[in-house]
Amino acid sequence: MQCVEKGLLSLDADVSDILPELKSLRILTGFDDQDKPTFRDSTKAITLRHLLTHSSGLTYLHMEPLLTRYDQLPEVEPRRRETLIEKFYTILVSEPGDRWLYSPGIDWAGAMVERVTSMRLGDYMKRHIFDVVSVKDATFQLQEREDLRARMVNTWERVGEELRITKCPAADPVTDDLGGGGLYSTVPELLKIYHGLLSEKLLARETIDLMFQSHLHDAPGLQSQDEYSESYRNAIYNSIPSTTPVSFGLGGIINLSPIPNRRSENSLSWTGMPNIYWWIDLKKGIAGVYLSQLLPSGDQQSTDLFSAFEEYVYSQVA
């Protein structure tokens, strides 16, 4: 959004001018009688607004059955995870703007920042975000920060009633700075960034207000909480009650009405795979982060604890 403020990026321009990898993509429509994938050409361009609201038509492999089936075809090479183009398919499952579906949109947005600034994403963020709010412990490249690697907590997996240490799902090492989920940091450092946003040190107030507005209009896929499994609801809606209407802002989900004893309406929040959650309440000036490092995603006990944590925060400071 800093690049939007500076005129380096536009929310509604065709991103393929900067990301030719996303030009003239095809939409996967199904499979024929010989189990061959069928496609049609997309008629719409992807924009930065689509990427930031997960409405680009791109998605993660595990989020869409058609893409999962495509990935299992014998002629399809296994995906690698070191670079952006290796990690994510550039295949659409819907027209841009027609549907909400969780995607690597933030990763592609990070690549746009790199290309218009001629800087690695980590270097840009250090100069224009981390240094501004005195963040020291943050990196995309763990091999450059062995002190952070030594301080990393274990990743745990819940198996029935038992918790077991498991492998961290993040690729290490990586070639690219992956903006959607590749940053290593700490709770105190993340809170500095949230405070920097609330105090308008990182963005102008007009831009902040824009981020916290609804940017989805008639895009199905987000408003049907009751149709999804418990784990999917927990992973996507991060403890927002199913009776609370939602939309998507620029970079996070928005609750369109207040949650009693918790966040105000139009708060911005999102989730990370190992049951990690954050929220920013612009109206009350409150932000929080909950990091559990627990798999699988959408763990009910984690969501319950996050809700209790958030409620306690508001009981003390709101």
pLDDT of 93-112, one tens digit each?
999 999 999 999 999 999 99
Give residue 318's pLDDT: 67
Residue 82 has pLDDT above 80, yes or no: no
pLDDT of residue 260: 97
Residues 109-134 as b or e (16 or more Cβ within 10 Å = b): bbbbbbeebebbbbebbbebbbeebe
Copy the structure tokens of residue 92: 């659409």
**Position 152: which residue type?**
M
Q: How confident is the model at residue 135 (pLDDT cuts 50, 70, 90)?
A: very high
Residue 34 pLDDT exceeds 70? yes
Radius of gyration of the chain measured on its C-alpha atoms:
19
**The residue type at 260:** P
Amino acid at 209: D
Reading the block at residue 204, the tokens are 């102008």
The residue ranking higher by pLDDT, 213 or 172, is: 213
Are 51 and 144 in contact by the 8 Å Cβ rule? The answer is: no
Mean of per-residue pLDDT scores for the chain: 95
Q: What percent of the chain has pLDDT over 70?
A: 99
* Structural domains of the chain, ranges and CATH numbers in brackets: 2-115 (no CATH), 185-317 (3.40.710.10)
Quick one: average pLDDT of 207-216?
98
What is the mean predicted confidence (pLDDT) over 231-239? 90
The pLDDT, as a whole number, for residue 221 is: 84
315: helix, coil or strand? Answer: helix
Span 21-46, average pLDDT: 97
Q: Under a CB-based contact definition with an 8 Å cutoff, are residues 286 and 317 in contact? A: yes
Taking residues 130-136, what's their average pLDDT?
A: 99
